[in-house]
Amino acid sequence: MTAPDTATPPVPVYRRKLFWVALLYFSEGLPLGIFYDIFPVYFRQRGVDLADIGLLSLLGLAWTVKFLWAPAVDWTRHHRWWISAANLGMALVMWGFAGSFGFGPLVWVAIGLFTVLSATNDIATDGYTIELLDKREYGLANGLRIGFYRVGMLAAGVVLMVSGWFGWAEAYLVGGAVFALNGLLVLAAPREAPRERPAGAGVGKEFALLKDQPQWVLALALVLVGLLWPALPPLAGALDWHGLEQVGKAWWFRGAIPVALMFAGAGLMVHAAQGPRADAMREGPVFGAWVELLSRPGMLAMLLFILLFKLGDAAMGFMVKPFWVDAGFSNQQIGLVSVMFGLVLSIAGGLLGGWYVDRVGIFRGLWVLGLWQAASNLGYALAAWKVNEMTAQGVGPSASMAADYSLWWQATTAGGWREWGDQARALAGLLGASLTSLNPVDGSVYAASALESFTGGLGTGAFLAFLMSLTHRAKATTEYAILSSIFAFSRAVAGWAGGIGAQEIGFAAYFFLTFWLSFPAYLLLPQVRRMLEQQDIKEV
């Protein structure tokens, strides 16, 4: 008699926690790719000037201040519904672009809404994932989080290539469909575990304390006014406030004032966190981590270092895609080389940078890899100079790469993915032909892109290790979120200034200028070394 089979049947993939981790972080990486890779190309191809494209980067400040509404998301507990609503909202924005918003007031509202929804998606995804996983699952889960976040950003490159093959409307329709599918799928994820709210604590108690601490109220007000300020010119245009609309065209009104307001608010917040009554706020869910972080000796210098370390990289970053457009490259070339290949090189650089930091230490890793990071800006400056020289001779980028890859892709999909060997050989031959057909414009820009992506990853590997070293284990998640938000603020402001710089002095001169912006952070290296040594002593 045969014994019954008592083996446990395999758990379906869609019921495994790590499946949902992968899906959620794909949907978290995609919006960032859309914002930094799709929108600059789209608007530049529609004739929007560089200053206005740079100004769009200020709408990315939503990622900087997302900590303000993170407690509300956590308090409601319905993380899956937040994620679903955010993704469906981003799908509607994408479909709105498919219907062509133009570049009027509505586009500012649409992109602002997109970044707020993306930031909310980040909050809900991080909170849901932390609660979903057991500690023994963190290692593999973190690998999936990073990997699929990058896959989401790579998907933006695919959307860009679709725009070259079929048009922008079709590309936005595809992008919106991906967001909508994510929003619907997440509702099938495991439900959130119930959790009791502690009595007498939380956001309400913390905001009640603000009544007795007007510095915090004023700081918060300045930050929020600065965040909303860029919406004034489009609002004035929509409401026919002609006087404000004319003033709103000035760079100082549209960019300098909101940045100054946010810097003033941040400075006042630092002062309040170091005041004698700050301890009352220390345990709060919104400002508690700020108080804890800012009250440490030497932390102000560390915050300034965070703002400055990747300043050169960030100042160039938002102008790279408009440069490719102005140089004459197609959407397929930008999507394949600058976005997809570039992201692969960035990941490789990040891994190598992390390995180097583990071998030589964070301090040496910062200054050595920071030099390589700065060198990439010179690569783009030389490429822009070469493009100007060749354009004057009537030479532009080769179009054969985009056309041939498009034909290969169409033939491959028409064949139903059969005959893999023949298709692989065809792709290898196409790669070889593409390399031999490169002209000086292609070679200089592709080389600059590869150098920038790889060395940017090197610098990021050291930078992330530095941020992690500053956090205390008890509040590591919240403190790391705050520190990364400070970097996001620097990136958004640098992107705005980059639009003005590139428009006024040209790409070549501006990219050369960004090389020198990489070095003010080096003045703070002595304080960084002292802080890292203090952290090592505490760990022991």
Look at the chain and count its residues. 540
Residue 396, pLDDT > 90, answer no
* Euclidean distance between CA atoms 399 and 409, whole angstroms: 16
pLDDT class of 536 with cuts at 50, 70, 90: low
What is the model's pLDDT at position 275?
72
pLDDT class of 488 with cuts at 50, 70, 90: confident
CATH architecture for residues 10-191: Up-down Bundle (1.20)
pLDDT class of 418 with cuts at 50, 70, 90: low
What is the model's pLDDT at position 125?
86
**Residue ranges of domains in the chain:** 10-191, 284-394+438-539
* Euclidean distance between CA atoms 399 and 535, whole angstroms: 53
pLDDT class of 206 with cuts at 50, 70, 90: low
Residue 277, pLDDT > 90, answer no
What is the model's pLDDT at position 5?
53
pLDDT class of 115 with cuts at 50, 70, 90: very high
Of the two residues 230 and 448, the one the predictor is more confident about is 448
* Euclidean distance between CA atoms 471 and 480, whole angstroms: 6
Concatenate the DSSP letters of all residues of 155-207 into one string. HHHHHHHHHHHH-HHHHHHHHHHHHHHHHHHGGGSPPPPP-PPPTT-SHHHHH
Residue 274, pLDDT > 80, answer no
Residue 455, pLDDT > 80, answer yes
What is the model's pLDDT at position 439?
72
What is the model's pLDDT at position 144?
67
Using DSSP's 3-state secondary structure scheme, residue 47 falls into coil
Of the two residues 246 and 94, the one the predictor is more confident about is 94
- What is the rounded average pLDDT of the residues 117-144? 75
What is the model's pLDDT at position 6?
54
pLDDT digit string, tens, across residues 77-95: 788 899 999 999 999 999 9
Of the two residues 417 and 266, the one the predictor is more confident about is 266
Say yes or no: do domains 10-191 and 284-394+438-539 share a fold.
yes
Residue 139, pLDDT > 60, answer no
Of the two residues 425 and 63, the one the predictor is more confident about is 63
Considering only 21-35, 131-145, 223-237, 382-396, which range has the smallest mean pLDDT? 131-145
* Euclidean distance between CA atoms 358 and 351, whole angstroms: 11
* Euclidean distance between CA atoms 301 and 289, whole angstroms: 18
Residues 6+ apart with CB under 8 A from 181: none
pLDDT digit string, tens, across residues 169-185: 999 999 999 999 999 99
How crowded is residue 385: how many other Cβ atoms within 10 Å of its Cβ? 17
pTM: 0.78
Residues 6+ apart with CB under 8 A from 406: 164, 165, 332
Q: Which CATH number fits domain 284-394+438-539: 3.30.365.10, 3.60.10.10, 1.10.10.60, 1.20.1250.20?
A: 1.20.1250.20
* Residue with the two structure tokens 């997809």: 340
Mean pLDDT of the chain: 79
